[in-house]
Amino acid sequence: MQISGIGIGRGIAVGAVLRMAEPIAAPADLPRAADASSEASRAHSALRATADDLSARAVMAGGEARDVLEAQALIAADPSVAVEIDERIEAGQCAERAVFDAFGSYRRTLEGLGGYLAERVADLDDVSRRVIARLTGVPMPEVPTSDLPYILVAHDLAPADTAGLDLEKVLAIVTAAGGPTSHTAILARQRRLPAIVGAAGCRELADGQLVVVDAPAGLVVCDPSATELDGARARGRLAAARDALVAGGGQRAQADGAAAQGAATKPGGLADGTRVPLLANLAHASDAATAIAFGAEGVGLLRTEFLYLDRHRAPSVAEQTERYVEAFRPFAGRPVIVRVLDAGADKKLAFLGHEHEENPALGRRGIRALREHEEVLVDQLRALVAARETTGVELGVMAPMVADADETEYFVELAREVGVSRVGINAEVPSAAVLADQLAPLVDFISIGTNDLTQYALAADRMLGSVAAFQDPWHPAVLRLARMIGAAGAAAGIPVGVCGEAAGDPLLALVLVGLGATELSMTPALLPEVRSELSRYTLAEARGAAEASVAARSAASARAAASSALSLSPRSVPS
């Protein structure tokens, strides 16, 4: 039997399954048994204990996990959460259900924002479950422990679970939920753990069952034959050897200091000396240090949505400036591209006046919503200019979801008026690619958002696991759109970046350069591998691989065509 999902990384692991208990079920909607004040104090002490526990875990964890755990502890300690729970208890609910519903309403806000933020709901759900587990006296499902190495199978992993993950023991992760940008996927990439996410079929796996986790193929092979095992082990060894070769930088560079920084963090470029700056995608100011450690030459995408979450009013210019200064500081003198607020159109941000929409991804998203609330956009631009003045970064600002020349002109004029000197667009709506020859002369740069470009080109909701097979940026339709943008950028003499997840796939990164991308921005942990792949080929070779892939008829054949054009074995078999 095989179980399919979305593969993360290139690794292949063989081992026995160890399952994490299923998530705690929703508590029944029962009326409270005690009076409101004692029920509320029960809820408060569970919130407090959960906050303390998460803070303690944060101290033990490092890197991104620590930041997420601290953020979770703050959520548990947030007085407005307690107030919302109190109101529900006052209205007659028991503490467990009040906690569940209060967190549920925050969850819907987050989900409505779409994309990266929607995938953060796991963090919120985890806090909610921890509080409910304390109230009901049920143990929280934790990552299992074992003396032997194992394949961790779970519904999904929350940051609190992953913080203490024993990397000596966990060979790979398989989760039923999650998408390619979920927390589990990000963690797996950072730690170079093979993972399959969105593998609904993994619920069938039993403790002790032998499996092969084949991340490049997005497959879990259950009860493999002796031949399958031999093949998987050989490929696993090759993948590990390749990893060891390219991963001389990043985390190791942090630990080993300047000596290790050398090749692994040198500026990005092709074998013939063509420069391809390699930049980082950041979602929080706290990601900056990791990005520098992985050799980021700057920031290609700072998602600013984090500043607006759960707000009933937009943050002030001063508050925003302070947060941007924090994010910019490590990049003084370097390029930093910030994307203005990309709110979903699901009436979730009260101050953007959203109404209910049947298909929010096709609704008032990004620049459309901001244009109707120009004061929010102007405040954000002012804060960005102020932070640039304080830190001395080379600031570029781009607008999300721009569809045509009218929207481009609107944004460019406004941003210049406020004092932004490098203004660009995030090309992620197919119309922007089709019209790229009209848009490129209007801007200073374009950055291709392959995540949304793929979702819209293939009409496949990026949040929907059931259409995940269509969400492949290798699809020749997506590659052709990228080629149109690359050509328009070259004709206008402006840089064309890629900031979607596709830029972090080493072979696809090379193809994108062949299609005209001049810089690439990605999750910091992916930088070393992309840097290494680019350095092996010339621009002529990248263009040859690009030509071969755009002529293909499917995503899989585009990938295979690029591999064979570069005289590599197919990418799923690293050599």
Which residues does 81 contact at the CB level (< 8 Å), separation at least 6?
A: 47, 75, 102, 103, 106
**In the bound complex, what is the minimum distance in angstroms from residue 396's beta carbon to Mg ion?**
17
**In the bound complex, what is the minimum distance in angstroms from residue 380's beta carbon to ligand PEP?**
16
Catalytic hit among 94, 202, 222, 499: 499
| 156 within 8 A of 343, measured Cβ to Cβ | no
| 152 within 8 A of 143, measured Cβ to Cβ | yes
Among 7, 315, 449, 476, binds Mg ion (CB under 5 A): 449
* β 150-154/12-19 pair status: parallel
In the bound state with Mg ion, the residue whose beta carbon lies nearer, of 338 and 560, is 338
In the bound state with ligand PEP, the residue whose beta carbon lies nearer, of 297 and 428, is 428
Q: Which of 383, 457, 426 is nearest to 521 (CA)?
A: 426
DSSP helix/strand/coil, 438: helix
| 526 within 8 A of 189, measured Cβ to Cβ | yes
If contact means CB under 5 to 8 A according to the sort of partner, which of ligand PEP, Mg ion, none does residue 499 touch?
Answer: ligand PEP
Which residues does 358 contact at the CB level (< 8 Å), separation at least 6?
A: none
348, burial (CB in 10 Å: exposed 0-12, middle 13-18, buried 19+): buried
Which residues in the 96-155 window bind ligand PEP by CB under 6 A? 115-116
Among 84, 111, 305, 452, binds Mg ion (CB under 5 A): 452
Which residues in the 449-508 window bind ligand PEP by CB under 6 A? 449-452, 499-500
Would residue 202 show up in a list of annotated catalytic residues for this protein? no
Catalytic hit among 155, 183, 354, 475: 183
The C-alpha atoms of residue 229 and residue 223 are separated, in whole angstroms, by: 9
Which residues in the 417-436 window bind Mg ion by CB under 5 A? 428
**In the bound complex, what is the minimum distance in angstroms from residue 450's beta carbon to ligand PEP?**
5
If contact means CB under 5 to 8 A according to the sort of partner, which of ligand PEP, Mg ion, none does residue 72 touch?
Answer: none
If contact means CB under 5 to 8 A according to the sort of partner, which of ligand PEP, Mg ion, none does residue 500 touch?
Answer: ligand PEP
Position 7 contacts ligand PEP (CB under 6 A): no
Residue nearest to Mg ion (CB): 452
In the bound state with Mg ion, the residue whose beta carbon lies nearer, of 161 and 505, is 505
If contact means CB under 5 to 8 A according to the sort of partner, which of ligand PEP, Mg ion, none does residue 517 touch?
Answer: none
- Judged by CB under 5 A, the stretch of 3-11, 83-91, 445-453, 519-527 that binds Mg ion is 445-453
Question: How does 553-562 read in b/e, with b if 16+ C-beta sit within 10 Å?
Answer: eebeebbbbb
Count of residues that interact with Mg ion, criterion CB under 5 A: 3
Q: Which of 532, 503, 510, 61 is nearest to 295 (CA)?
A: 532
In the bound state with ligand PEP, the residue whose beta carbon lies nearer, of 500 and 574, is 500
* β 299-303/278-282 pair status: parallel
In the bound state with ligand PEP, the residue whose beta carbon lies nearer, of 276 and 457, is 457
DSSP helix/strand/coil, 421: coil
The C-alpha atoms of residue 77 and residue 543 are separated, in whole angstroms, by: 53
Would residue 499 show up in a list of annotated catalytic residues for this protein? yes
Count of residues that interact with ligand PEP, criterion CB under 6 A: 12
- Judged by CB under 5 A, the stretch of 135-143, 407-415, 441-449, 564-572 that binds Mg ion is 441-449
DSSP 174: E
**In the bound complex, what is the minimum distance in angstroms from residue 411's beta carbon to Mg ion?**
15
DSSP helix/strand/coil, 197: strand
In the bound state with Mg ion, the residue whose beta carbon lies nearer, of 250 and 396, is 396
In the bound state with Mg ion, the residue whose beta carbon lies nearer, of 99 and 484, is 484
If contact means CB under 5 to 8 A according to the sort of partner, which of Mg ion, ligand PEP, none does residue 7 touch?
Answer: none
Helices (H) and strands (E) in the chain — how many of each?
24, 16
Which residues in the 327-346 window bind ligand PEP by CB under 6 A? 342
Beta-bridge mates of residue 261: none
The amino acid at residue 268 is G
Beta-bridge mates of residue 520: 278, 498
Which residues in the 421-450 window bind ligand PEP by CB under 6 A? 428, 449-450
Place of tokens 């796996």: 205
In the bound state with ligand PEP, the residue whose beta carbon lies nearer, of 261 and 426, is 426
The C-alpha atoms of residue 111 and residue 348 are separated, in whole angstroms, by: 9
Q: Which two tokens stand for residue 215?
A: 């991340």
Position 303 contacts ligand PEP (CB under 6 A): yes
Catalytic residues: 183, 499
* Residues binding Mg ion (CB under 5 A): 428, 449, 452
* Residues binding ligand PEP (CB under 6 A): 115-116, 301, 303, 342, 428, 449-452, 499-500
